[in-house]
Amino acid sequence: MNSALQEWLSCAPTPLALKADQRWHVFISYRSVNRYWVLELYDILRQLGYSVFLDQYVLSAAAPLALTLGEELDASASAVLVWSGEYEDSEWCKSEFNYLEGREKKRTGFRYVIAKLDQTRLPGFAEEKIFVDFSERREGPGGSDILRMLHGLAGKPLPEKAVKLAAEVDEEVKQARIKIKAARLDGDVNRLLELAQSEHLAWVNSPMLQCAVVESLIGLKRNDTALQLATKLCEQFPKTARPRQLQGLAESRMGNWKSAQTILGDLYMAGEIDPETLGIYARTWMDRFNATGDRRYLLKSRDLYRQAFETAPDDYYTGVNAATKTLLLDEIETASQIAQRVEALVGGKAIANDYWKTATVAEVQLLQKNYTKAAQLYEAAVVVAPEDVGSHTSTYNQAVLILSHLKADTEDQSTVLRAFSHLTHSANA
């Protein structure tokens, strides 16, 4: 256990004595795709003195599964329901949720907490339940979140020491985010790298801030430096998806689509189907299409973007890419329908301090052949982040593809692309 986690857990509640009919302090309900995260939770609870029911450690191969799980739930003082997008697909897990909810409502002292591992929305039957958000801690439970979960199970508020420690970390996160954004806006790579050297608890207990630095470096087209830092983060947090997503994106931006596709393909086959993973994976197939001209790869790219957008219909980035790839496949009516859905999300005006959303608004207008308005919006996007030449290059290359496919005349092409005249035009976005 690392020192940062130990510091947090010094504030953890001790387990209460079990009643005569209880065998477990905590029952863990989960789906197998989240097993590694669950094993981390199991180890932490055990080290704190909790008796924990985890099926792979307790159930025998010959035991009737449904009967045994029911018995062990009845013998548990509390439970943690580990939730992710994959959990919702499991009818068995839904059944366990209903059972946990029923037990808690009986007011016998039983409590359960939802540990939410990704950005997937809780479904209707669970949306009123309070949850602990671990989406930034896919490598395993940690920080103030693990304390909130443990005190939630005990029905107690966080102790003063934990509240002070959480406030200190939260303030560091707030200030660090401001500094990262300022350094990115200024194009100050050295400051970004200096920030990444911090040993503050907020930086070492989660990859969140380090990933923000990597993302900034990619935006500034310092892909080689970003790749080095992302690779280091993958070693430090091997079970977290975000560093690997950024590792793949950096490879892709450097033109290494094969390496990028390997990284993102592994994530995809491991069950990571969030919009970010699907979007970057789709990009690698588009890169492959650009390298080979093979239409199969364009189809694959479009289908992945479309999958992401249908799964998360408020994700405008995958939506606009789905529309563009559909246009490139000459499915004009469908492309227009998707573009209109995206326009309903982002509107028709520039978004203050948001490069990608403003660039998306511009691309939607371009898809609809509103060339003058698209040009104005692209210029507004560039002004939002004037040093983000990596982002500009990616946007420029997409605009070139759309203009070519729409057979825009020379004057319209010149009008739209004027916003990117500062770029050294490169095929590697």
pLDDT digits (tens, 9 = 90+) for 31-67: 777 777 888 788 788 878 899 998 766 654 444 444 4
What is the number of other CB atoms lying within 10 angstroms of the CB of residue 23? 16
Q: Give the C-alpha separation, 37 to 83, whole Å.
A: 11
Grouping H, G, I as helix, E, B as strand and the rest as coil, residue 398 is helix
User: Which residues neighbour 135 within 8 Å (Cβ) at sequence distance 6 or greater?
Assistant: 116, 117, 118, 119
Q: What pLDDT was estimated at residue 78?
A: 93
Q: What is the pLDDT of residues 180-230, one digit of tens each?
A: 999 999 999 999 999 999 988 888 877 889 999 999 999 999 999 999 999
CA distance 201 to 169: 7
Q: List b or e across 275-286, with b for residues whose CB sees 16 or more CB atoms inside 10 angstroms.
A: bbbbbbbbbbbb
pLDDT (tens digit, 0 to 9) for every residue of the chain, 429 residues total?
566 667 777 888 889 899 999 999 999 988 777 777 888 788 788 878 899 998 766 654 444 444 467 788 889 999 999 888 766 555 666 777 788 888 888 877 899 999 988 877 776 666 667 788 888 776 678 777 888 898 888 888 888 888 888 788 878 888 999 999 999 999 999 999 999 999 888 888 778 899 999 999 999 999 999 999 999 999 988 877 889 999 999 999 999 999 999 999 999 998 778 789 999 999 999 999 999 999 999 999 999 999 999 988 889 999 999 999 999 999 999 999 999 999 999 999 999 999 999 999 999 999 999 999 999 999 999 999 999 999 999 999 999 999 999 999 999 999 999 999 999 654 444
Tokens describing residue 400: 């070139």
Query: Is the entire prediction scored with pTM above 0.95?
Result: no
pLDDT above 70 coverage of the chain, percent:
90
Give DSSP secondary structure letters for 149-206: HHHHHHT-PPPHHHHHHHHHHHHHHHHHHHHHHHHHHHT-HHHHHHHTT--SHHHHS-
Of 346, 342, 371, which is closest to residue 357 (Cα–Cα)?
346
Please say whether the beta carbons of 349 and 357 come within 8 A.
no
